[in-house]
């Protein structure tokens, strides 16, 4: 006997998602129509039509929906989620000034925890079941403990990539307290939680980051690094890592946007992967989102969203914007040569794969990112019967990449546990998360003072010149209507928002 889907999910019970279109993301990219996915314990037990299920299995009606593996984000500064949207108009320089130089130190352990908890809940809600928390606000081990405790209070899969922008990598990695923390918190079990190291390589020829890489090697932990970030990290950093033997298959190169072919060859030759944050690269300015050239080097790609201080925390946005940026560049490069692109190289299936299997590859997790028997049961059902966008369901990969959004995420399982059911998060006290985040915002605002808080959110706009138009009969600068409009616009920019 099975129960209807209205029944509250119960831990430990098998779950079957009935009658969906299943993106298995297996090696052949198999898509199955009108099949069931059975989850028993923490694993996918079976995928197929009209499955027999154990007694007491919870039923979820997946008809008309898409069942896919939980998505994986390989680079997200979760502690910054408490500042959601604040930096929407920032450049990368303004971000660096705000967090690295001026205000990052104001974050207390409880503020890191507040951001992490919100980011974790937000990820689950949008079907992102694994997140690498690129946690570079860990000024003290107390901050790190708070970060991990917050993650572990939300039932997702997390990798804490330990970092500290307030000290040099060779300083904080040498701290015995940090090393003890990493030893204590690491699991290495391929379970729900693990740790990495997160730091950047400036390209200083003395390669001071060598000591930090040696700590990582000593501890047996992978390193994630912001690479190819215009004005911050470049080819020299890649060359130094490679020549000193620290470019390894576990290494994740985040952005890798402003690099030469030589750096891509070094990354490809050593088996590393690239985490592309297209929304971030497009507006912050690390470099053009690199998938259009990374593809030619055969380097594995995963997707990430970077930080909610600017961008959206769902990977639907990441898939969509990555397709757009890649195709845009492919057309642009062709037009420069007078050519026309008649067949697109990057397909919707590719970005869905990067959002699932790509993340699993980056993390060395063959048991994630696929819906095949034996895989870990991180499962997402996209289904929204109330939405006119839910049908017709003709091209499932295209539907995920260009049509679906976080509001369409109906059911989410992590490690076989139902964490979102019928569009509602299960056992999440969102009001408590909200109170915690409000306390952080209040603290920062009071600590900075109102003027600094406001001006941080409203960066100065460079002056824009309107070009003279040769097709206008009158000089528009002397035209009174135009002058009045321009004046109104200036007033608007001056703060009358």
Q: Which stretch binds Zn ion (CB under 5 A): 33-41, 66-74, 195-203, 304-312?
A: 304-312
Q: Write down the least CB distance from residue 327 to Zn ion, Å.
A: 24
Q: Write down the least CB distance from residue 296 to Zn ion, Å.
A: 24
Between 80 and 349, CB nearer to Zn ion: 80
Q: Which stretch binds Zn ion (CB under 5 A): 293-301, 302-310, 361-369, 423-431?
A: 302-310
Between 306 and 436, CB nearer to Zn ion: 306
What is the number of the residue whose Cβ is closest to Zn ion? 306
Q: Write down the least CB distance from residue 337 to Zn ion, Å.
A: 34
Q: Which stretch binds Zn ion (CB under 5 A): 79-87, 306-314, 379-387, 448-456?
A: 306-314
Q: Write down the least CB distance from residue 138 to Zn ion, Å.
A: 14
Between 120 and 418, CB nearer to Zn ion: 120
Cα 48 to chain centroid, rounded? 31
DSSP class of 291 = H
With beta carbons less than 8 A apart as the criterion, state whether 77 and 306 touch: yes
Among residues 35, 43, 76, which one has the least CA distance to residue 374? 43
Longest dimension (CA), the chain: 82
Restricting to residues 31-70, name those near Zn ion by CB under 5 A: none
Q: Write down the least CB distance from residue 255 to Zn ion, Å.
A: 7
The residue length of the chain stands at 497
Q: Write down the least CB distance from residue 112 to Zn ion, Å.
A: 16
Burial (0-12, 13-18, 19+ Cβ within 10 Å), 153: middle
Among residues 245, 268, 196, which one has the least CA distance to residue 225? 196
Restricting to residues 405-444, name those near Zn ion by CB under 5 A: none
Between 179 and 283, CB nearer to Zn ion: 283
Dihedral-angle region of residue 395 (phi above 0 means left; psi in -120 to 50 means alpha; beta otherwise): beta
Distance separating alpha carbons of residues 145 and 246, to the nearest angstrom? 28
Distance separating alpha carbons of residues 366 and 376, to the nearest angstrom? 9
Residue 238 in 3-state DSSP? helix
Q: Which stretch binds Zn ion (CB under 5 A): 103-111, 198-206, 301-309, 451-459?
A: 301-309
Distance separating alpha carbons of residues 111 and 135, to the nearest angstrom? 13
Between 242 and 255, CB nearer to Zn ion: 255
Between 267 and 377, CB nearer to Zn ion: 267
Count of residues of this chain found to bind Zn ion when the rule CB under 5 A is applied = 1
Q: Write down the least CB distance from residue 95 to Zn ion, Å.
A: 9
Q: Write down the least CB distance from residue 306 to Zn ion, Å.
A: 5
Q: Which stretch binds Zn ion (CB under 5 A): 112-120, 177-185, 259-267, 298-306?
A: 298-306
Instruction: Give the tokens for residue 106.
Output: 């104001």
Distance separating alpha carbons of residues 22 and 43, to the nearest angstrom? 16
Q: Which stretch binds Zn ion (CB under 5 A): 79-87, 153-161, 300-308, 419-427?
A: 300-308
Between 306 and 326, CB nearer to Zn ion: 306
Distance separating alpha carbons of residues 423 and 412, to the nearest angstrom? 9
- Residue numbers at the binding site for Zn ion (CB under 5 A): 306
């Amino acid at each position: 006997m099975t129960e209807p889907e209205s029944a509250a999910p119960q831990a430990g019970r098998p779950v079957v998602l009935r009658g969906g279109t299943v993106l298995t993301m297996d090696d052949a990219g198999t898509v199955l129509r009108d099949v069931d996915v059975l989850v028993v314990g923490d694993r996918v037990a079976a995928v197929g039509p009209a499955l027999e299920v154990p007694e007491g299995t919870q039923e979820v009606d997946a008809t008309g929906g898409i069942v896919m593996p939980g998505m994986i984000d390989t680079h997200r500064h979760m502690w910054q989620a408490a500042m959601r949207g604040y930096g929407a108009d920032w450049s990368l320089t303004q971000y660096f000034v705000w967090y690295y130089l001026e205000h990052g130190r104001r974050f207390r352990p409880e503020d890191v925890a507040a951001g992490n908890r919100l980011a974790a809940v937000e990820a689950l809600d949008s079907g992102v079941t694994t997140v690498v928390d690129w946690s570079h606000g860990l000024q003290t081990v107390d901050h790190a403990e708070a970060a991990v405790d917050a993650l572990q209070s939300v039932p997702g899969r997390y990798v804490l990539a330990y970092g500290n922008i307030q000290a040099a990598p060779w300083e904080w990695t040498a701290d015995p307290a940090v090393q003890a923390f990493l030893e204590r918190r690491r699991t290495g079990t391929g379970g729900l939680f693990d740790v990495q190291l997160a730091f950047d390589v400036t390209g200083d020829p003395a390669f001071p980051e060598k000591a930090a890489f040696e700590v990582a090697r000593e501890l047996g932990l992978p390193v994630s690094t912001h690479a190819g970030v215009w004005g911050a990290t470049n080819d020299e950093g890649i060359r130094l890592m490679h020549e000193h033997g620290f470019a390894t298959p576990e290494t994740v190169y985040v952005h890798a946007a402003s690099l030469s072919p030589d750096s891509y060859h070094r990354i490809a030759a050593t088996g590393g992967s690239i985490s592309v944050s297209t929304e971030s690269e497009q507006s912050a300015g690390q470099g053009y989102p690199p998938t259009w050239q990374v593809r030619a080097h055969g380097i594995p790609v995963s997707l990430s969203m970077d930080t909610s201080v600017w961008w959206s925390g769902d990977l639907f946005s990441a898939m969509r914007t990555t397709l757009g940026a890649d195709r845009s560049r492919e057309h642009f490069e062709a037009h420069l040569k007078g050519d026309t692109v008649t067949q697109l190289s990057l397909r919707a299936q590719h970005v869905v794969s990067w959002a699932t299997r790509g993340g699993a590859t980056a993390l060395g997790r063959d048991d994630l990112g696929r819906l095949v028997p034996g895989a870990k049961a991180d499962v997402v059902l996209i289904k929204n019967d109330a939405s006119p966008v839910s049908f017709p369901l003709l091209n499932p990969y295209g539907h995920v990449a260009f049509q679906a959004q976080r509001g369409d995420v109906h059911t989410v399982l992590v490690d076989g546990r139902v964490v979102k059911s019928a569009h509602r998060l299960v056992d999440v006290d969102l009001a408590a998360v909200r109170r915690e985040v409000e306390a952080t915002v209040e603290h920062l605002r009071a600590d900075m003072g109102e003027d600094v808080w406001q001006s941080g959110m409203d960066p100065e706009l460079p002056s824009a010149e309107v070009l003279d138009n040769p097709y206008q009969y009158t000089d528009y600068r002397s035209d009174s209507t135009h002058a009045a409009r321009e004046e109104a616009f200036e007033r608007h920019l001056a703060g009358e928002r």
